[in-house]
Structure 1
C-alpha cells in the first residue's frame, strides 16, 4: 500500500487531499505546523506529524519519522495581499520562506530515498496566479512562479531516476482559510493612492464568476500522483482550467 505525505493539512486543500487519499485506501502522513487530530477521521492508515517547512530541523525529524514516502505533496503555503509598494520586506521574506524555500527543502529531503528506490512522485501546489498574474499579489505570485520553474527543471533532472515532479495549479477558493489569512494582511497594505484601484478588485474577490472547490484540488492532486506521462501541470478548478486554456 502506497504512502503519501502532505504538508499543510490542518485546513483547506491539504486537509481535503488527506481525506481523499484516506478514503481511497492510501497510507496518509498528514503534516501540520500545529498537529490537530480532530480535523481528520480516525484511521490506522493515518499518521499526523508536526512539521514547520521553514525549519531544517523540523523537516529532518518529520522525514525520518515518516519512513518510506511514495508521494510528497508540498501544499503548505501562506498569502500576502496588498500593494507591493506597501508590502514590508519582512512579509515578502516570510512568504518566500514558506512558499518557495520550504518546498525546495522538502523536495531535497525526500529525493534521496526516492532515488535509491528509483520511484516516487513530488507534487508541488502553486496557484492560478502563475497562469495569469493578479494585481495586489506580487510577492505571492513571485513565490509561486519560482516553484513553477523549479518543478519544471526538477522534472527533467529526476526523470533519470524514474521520479516524477508535478504541478497542481488551484484556482481561487474564497472558502479556504488561506483566503481568510491573506485578507488579514490587507491592513496597512493599501495606501490611499491605491484605494480606487483596489476597490473593484476586492469586490471581484468577494463575488468571483468562477471558483475552485477544495475537492477540485484534491482530485487534481490525485490525478498528478497517479500520472505516468510527461504531463507537468494540472490546473484545478474551473477558473484555473479556463486560464490554462487561455495561456
Structure 2
C-alpha cells in the first residue's frame, strides 16, 4: 500500500465528506480527512488514514494542513455551509460566512495545492457544489450564489490548468435531507427574519426535509467524487443523486 495515491478531503466530520473518505479508504487510497474539530472515531482505524484539523476560512490553518499532509494526488473541496432564509432577513455577516467557507475556502485550498500539482504535471481538483445552481429555489439566494461562483471558478480554472495536465471537475449533489444542511441553515437563521416570512419558511424547510420524492444520499456523492478523481474522461459536471441526475438531464 506504500504506493497508494493520496486524496485530501475537506469537511469530513459528516455527510458527503465522511462518506467520501470511507469510499476512498475502501478503494485502497491514502486519505487525509480534514475537519474543524478532528475526531478519530468517525472513520475506521487504518494505516492509510490521517485526520487533520482544518478551517478553510483560516489561511494559516490551510498552510499547516497542506504542509502536514505532504504530497497529495487529489483535492476534494467538500467543506461548505448551508443557509436557507430570505435575503431581507440576512445580515451581511451571514453572507460573508457563507462566501468565506463555500467560495473563498475553495479558492484558498486550491491555491495551496496547485504548486505541487503543477510541478508534477499531475493532480485532480474536485469541487462539490449543488444542483440549486441548475434550478433556482426560494430562500437560497446567498447559498446558491456562493455555489454558482464555485461552478464558474472551476470551469475557468480547468482551462487554465489543462496545459499542466491538472484536471478540475465539479460534482453537483441534489437535495440530501440526511445531511447537516438543514441544521446549518437553522443555525444561521438568527432573529433577523421578518415575521411575514415565517409561514413561507416553514413550508420550505418541510420541502427540504421531504423524503417522498427522489433525493441524494451521501453514497451517491462519494461515488460521483470517485468518478471525478479516477476517470480522466469524466465530464466537467457530474450530478450526484437520483434527483440531481434527473434535473441535469432535463
TM category, shorter: over 0.9
**Contact in 2 for aligned 1:173/1:179 (Cα 8 Å):** no
Q: Provide the residue aligned with 1:81 in structure 2.
A: 84
1:210 to 202, 207, 214: 214
Counterpart Cα distance in 1 of 2:137 and 2:161: 31
**Contact in 1 for aligned 2:228/2:234 (Cα 8 Å):** no
1:119 to 98, 118, 122: 122
Alpha-carbon displacement from aligned partner over 1:32-63 (angstroms, at most 9, x marks no partner):
11100010100000001111101111111111
Counterpart Cα distance in 2 of 1:35 and 1:207: 31
Q: Provide the residue aligned with 2:239 in structure 1.
A: 235
Q: Provide the residue aligned with 1:19 in structure 2.
A: 22
Q: 1:189 offset after TM fit, Å?
A: 5.1
Counterpart Cα distance in 2 of 1:245 and 1:190: 35
Q: Which moved more, 1:226-235 or 1:81-90?
A: 226-235
Structure-to-structure mapping, 1:1-247, within 5 angstroms = 1-188=4-191, 190-208=193-211, 209-229=213-233, 231-246=235-250
In structure 1, the residue corresponding to 2:178 is in which secondary structure? coil
**Contact in 1 for aligned 2:94/2:188 (Cα 8 Å):** no
Counterpart Cα distance in 1 of 2:183 and 2:199: 22
Q: 1:97 offset after TM fit, Å?
A: 0.4
Alpha-carbon displacement from aligned partner over 1:212-238 (angstroms, at most 9, x marks no partner):
100000000000001212620011001
Alpha-carbon displacement from aligned partner over 1:77-116 (angstroms, at most 9, x marks no partner):
0111111111011000011000000000000010000000
Counterpart Cα distance in 2 of 1:189 and 1:43: 46
Aligned length: 246
CA RMSD of aligned residues (A): 1.3
Q: 1:196 offset after TM fit, Å?
A: 4.2
Q: 1:172 offset after TM fit, Å?
A: 1.0
Q: 1:133 offset after TM fit, Å?
A: 1.4
**Contact in 2 for aligned 1:124/1:151 (Cα 8 Å):** yes
In structure 1, the gaps of 5 or more residues are none
**Contact in 2 for aligned 1:54/1:97 (Cα 8 Å):** yes
In structure 2, the gaps of 5 or more residues are none
Counterpart Cα distance in 2 of 1:179 and 1:94: 16
